[in-house]
Amino acid sequence: MTTPGYRDMPPETWDPDASVDFAEAEEFLRMCYGDNSKLGSVEPRLAVVRAQIAATGTYVHTPDELAYGARVAWRNSSRCIGRLYWRSLVVLDRRRARTPEEIFALIVRHLCMAGGTAAANREPGAIRPVISVFPQAQPGRPYARIWNEQLIRYAGYRDVNGGVTGDPRAVRFTESMRDLGWRGKGDAFDVLPVAIETPAHGVRLFELPERAVLEVPLVHPEYAWFAELGLRWHAVPAISNMRLTIGGVHYPLAPFNGWYMGTEIGARNLADPDRYNMVPVVAKMMGLDTSKPRTLWRDRALVELNRAVLWSFERVGVKITDHHTESDRFLAHIGNEAKAGREVPADWSWIVPPMSGGATGVFHRYYRESDERPNFYLDADARALAIHGHRAHVAHPEETAPAAPPEQQRRIPTQPIPPAAPSRMLPSPTLRPACPVRH
Ligand code: ARG
């Protein structure tokens, strides 16, 4: 389905009070049953769904519909370069979870499964794309949500002289977590607590256990000094504040993850001037002439930072991809989709990697920018919550969960917060044999 909501078209806002539009349900179900012959005829299913919507304002997906819908939502995510493997998304049906404790326990299981730390027969670092789908929104009723933008993110602390320790992007969110009673260590890579809000319990904070947070210490294949910078990054990027919509049904709590492309870390998270801003530091350590832009010291430092990211992940066996490989895969995906009679919706400004754009195939063409359903959406209030860690303006109280009484909001750590958690990093190659080193 092509809808407005792309770029210069006003985005379609979600009305949590509205009943499911039967036409949208029908369109999804016809596509789902058309693509999956084992599901049988769609007609009897449409009759049931029509009746459910008439009686309750919404309807309930079967597990097959949910899994298919979540995978197609990924396929339709026009900003994602990694969609070649959309069919392999592991869909965990968590629609029965209600309490913050239940939700948190399942979030931990999600991260362990995604990071390969869940089972004895899997290697830590064998990252798998996973989505956990929690209860759907019921029209006119408050719903559970996670405030964090990702399940794993680093805190940011503003210090007295205006600088920031940690991730500057997280400064306001971190302040709010501290107001809610969380105490971080104050280090550059402190994993934030997960803020889970449910209608019955308000917001509660949970500290992720070590086994859920796989991290990689960053070293460089040639520059020994690089390790001294003390950089690291987490292995699993898991977006936790986007609303999954399938056939007119909305799932505001449906965290999902893939594996990293190196540039996300090396050319953005650690490089952007308003993030960790490491490019000038690396350039200085490399002894580059930073007196004028045309020495291309930024570019040279950026390349080495990105080599360090890819090399470090590979050396400890954590799955990661580079932008050249991913560009080729994306073009292969476009080919596969064309064979299936589909055009791949894509946003050039997100698909082209943030370094060496023109050296990748995805740069040299344009894409159709269309908004197809099922899909994932970042609502304005979810975006604001993830930045500020609190509701700045609550326009319609009935649209949001009732605020918890202050004492309840402060009754946080259900999960005891360890004082100074030991490093969650993978053992360094001195403890565990490194992967074969490429030269
Ligand atoms: N760019 C985001 C980050 O660096 C992650 C977005 C999702 N990335 C992914 N490879 N699935 O944290």
Domain boundary assignment for the chain: 22-153+191-351+375-391
Q: Which residues are designated catalytic? A: 80, 83, 259, 264
Using the mean position of ligand 1's atoms as its centre, give its distance from the Cα of residue 306 in Å.
15
Q: Give residue 242's pLDDT.
A: 98
Helices and strands (H, E) in the chain, number of each type: 12, 16
For residues 24 and 247, the answer to whether their CB atoms sit within 8 Å is yes
Using the mean position of ligand 1's atoms as its centre, give its distance from the Cα of residue 264 in Å.
6
Using the mean position of ligand 1's atoms as its centre, give its distance from the Cα of residue 150 in Å.
9
With H, G, I as helix, E, B as strand and everything else as coil, classify residue 42.
coil
* Contacts for 29-34: CB closer than 8 Å, 24+ residues apart: 29/65, 29/247, 31/72, 32/64, 32/65, 32/68, 32/69, 32/247
pLDDT band at 51 (very low <50, low <70, confident <90, very high): very high
pLDDT band at 331 (very low <50, low <70, confident <90, very high): very high
Q: Is there an atom of ligand 1 within 6 Å of 190 CB? A: no
pLDDT digits (tens, 9 = 90+) for 108-142: 999 999 999 988 878 899 999 999 999 999 999 99
- Tell whether the model's pLDDT for residue 411 goes beyond 50: no
Using the mean position of ligand 1's atoms as its centre, give its distance from the Cα of residue 228 in Å.
25
CATH H-level, domain 22-153+191-351+375-391: superfamily: Nitric Oxide Synthase; Chain A, domain 1 (3.90.340.10)
pLDDT digits (tens, 9 = 90+) for 291-319: 999 999 999 999 999 999 999 999 999 99
8-17, 20-29, 216-225: the lowest-pLDDT one: 8-17
pLDDT band at 12 (very low <50, low <70, confident <90, very high): confident
Q: Give residue 119's pLDDT.
A: 84
Q: Give residue 397's pLDDT.
A: 47
Strands 156-158 and 164-166: antiparallel
- Tell whether the model's pLDDT for residue 10 goes beyond 50: yes
- Tell whether the model's pLDDT for residue 347 goes beyond 90: yes
**Residue ID of nearest Cα to ligand 1 atom 6:** 237
- Span 189-197, mean pLDDT? 98
Q: Give residue 75's pLDDT.
A: 98
Q: Is there an atom of ligand 1 within 6 Å of 237 CB? A: yes
Q: Structure pTM?
A: 0.90
Q: In a mutational test of the pocket of ligand 1, which residue from 131, 214, 264, 325 has the highest number of ligand atoms less than 8 Å from its CB?
A: 264
Element (H, E) at 175: helix 171-179
For residues 70 and 91, the answer to whether their CB atoms sit within 8 Å is yes
pLDDT digits (tens, 9 = 90+) for 257-274: 999 999 999 999 999 999
CA distance from start to end of the chain: 48
25-29, 285-289, 393-397: the lowest-pLDDT one: 393-397
Q: Give residue 1's pLDDT.
A: 45
**Residue ID of nearest Cα to ligand 1 atom 5:** 237
